[in-house]
Amino acid sequence: MKDAAEIVKILRGEEQLGKLCLKLSTSSNEPPPSETPSDATSDKTNEKAYSISKQERSEEQLAQYQKKIEEQISQLKKLDKIKSNFLNITSHELRTPISAIKGYIQLILKQKLGEINEEQKKSLEVALRNANRLDHLIQDILDISRLDSGTMRFIPEPTNVKIMIEETVETMRSSADVKHIQINTTVEEYLPDLTIDQERIKQVIINLLNNAIKFSPDNSNINVNIRKEQDDISFEMQDFGRGIPKDQHDNIFDAFYQVKANEDKRLGGVGLGLAISRGIILAHGGRIWVESTLDKGSKFTFSLPIKPVQDVEGRFKEVDIFRVES
Ligand code: ADP
């Protein structure tokens, strides 16, 4: 997703312009270059006049540069606003019809509207898989536009972990069924409630399960394990899919990063899910990591502190979601 990375670079342009401005203002204080008369016998008055006119010229130049930079910044801000509005409007408008499409496909697949034959079932499963892909992509774009405009909201509330997990896994069953993948959930008894933004944490779980399904072979298992560990609750999602090379375990949490595999293009995705998930977990005072062996499978784990953290929204703004080199 080079294009998306480019967008981030453009957004960072403002920062670069700021640095340039600083550089220009410091360079005006530098001593005049070697063309300054260096002869020891030269007239002191001439030297002073020369130096003043040189300074005036560089100040004038600096003012011109600054004006140009200000114009460019204002142009960039305008473009940025247009881009944010565009992302916001399009992603919102796309989500509603996609939800309806998915809902009806699922209804027909469950034979609630009458019996369907094997061929119809297979075709609808392909349609559902693609609708899910589209939905996932739109969610990522929506999140990026919220991140960009600083409108990502977090509403932490006391949450029963068991109910949250069961509800979330249920929403993933139809995608798993398409590949005949079994999701096995184990939740430790008597877990304390967590004060978290439930929708955001559900989004992380959905993202991890979505990846687990995507990179697992047909007829395999995915194990979801939730338990208490000292002061945290740990959420583990293990698959037996293609795995991730060791040297890329850290990179996959960077925005737009995808493991270099030909398959990824076909499977879709833009490499944003894990970057956003990481931001959400860090904002809640937690941690997220992966253990994975190539061709054996991956285990993604995140932990959340039982003691609620303050100012999740503020913490989220502090996280460098993009981690893209400028
Ligand atoms: P995407 O939308 O591309 O899935 P993510 O940020 O969710 O973006 O994941 C980044 C990359 O990490 C994926 O493209 C894939 O290469 C790798 N990855 C993530 N989860 C798994 C997994 N369970 N098994 C194998 N590879 C994975």
Q: Which tens digits make up the pLDDT trace of 258-298?
A: 887 656 556 667 788 999 999 999 999 999 999 999 999 99
Looking at the predicted structure, is the pLDDT value of residue 136 above 50?
yes
Helix (H) / strand (E) element for 49: namely helix 44-109
* Lining residues, ligand 1, CB within 6 Å: 207, 211-212, 215, 239, 241-242, 244, 252, 257-259, 264, 269-275, 298
Any idea which residue has 């997990």 for tokens?
A: 165
| Atom 13 (ligand 1) nearest CA | 258
Q: What average pLDDT does the segment 112-136 reach? A: 91
Mutate to test the pocket of ligand 1, among 220, 258, 276 (most ligand atoms within 8 A of CB): 258
Q: Give the pLDDT confidence score for residue 246 in this predicted structure.
A: 93
Angle at the Cα of 242 from the Cα atoms of 180 and 246, rounded to 5 degrees? 150
Question: CB of 273 within 8 A of CB of 213?
Answer: no
Q: Give the pLDDT confidence score for residue 96 in this predicted structure.
A: 84
User: Model's pTM, two decimal places?
Assistant: 0.73
Q: Band of the pLDDT at 53, cuts 50, 70, 90? A: confident
Looking at the predicted structure, is the pLDDT value of residue 204 above 80?
yes
Strands, E, within the chain: which ranges? 157-159, 182-187, 194-196, 221-229, 232-239, 287-293, 297-305
| Mean confidence (pLDDT) of the chain | 84
Looking at the predicted structure, is the pLDDT value of residue 179 above 70?
yes
Question: What percentage of the chain reaches a pLDDT higher than 90?
Answer: 55
Q: Band of the pLDDT at 2, cuts 50, 70, 90? A: very low
Question: What percentage of the chain reaches a pLDDT higher than 70?
Answer: 83
Q: Give the pLDDT confidence score for residue 30 in this predicted structure.
A: 47
Q: Band of the pLDDT at 151, cuts 50, 70, 90? A: confident
Looking at the predicted structure, is the pLDDT value of residue 108 above 90?
yes
Q: Which ligand 1 atom is nearest residue 268's CA?
A: 3
Q: Give the CB-side neighbour count of residue 264, counting CA atoms within 13 A.
A: 14
Helix (H) / strand (E) element for 199: namely helix 198-214
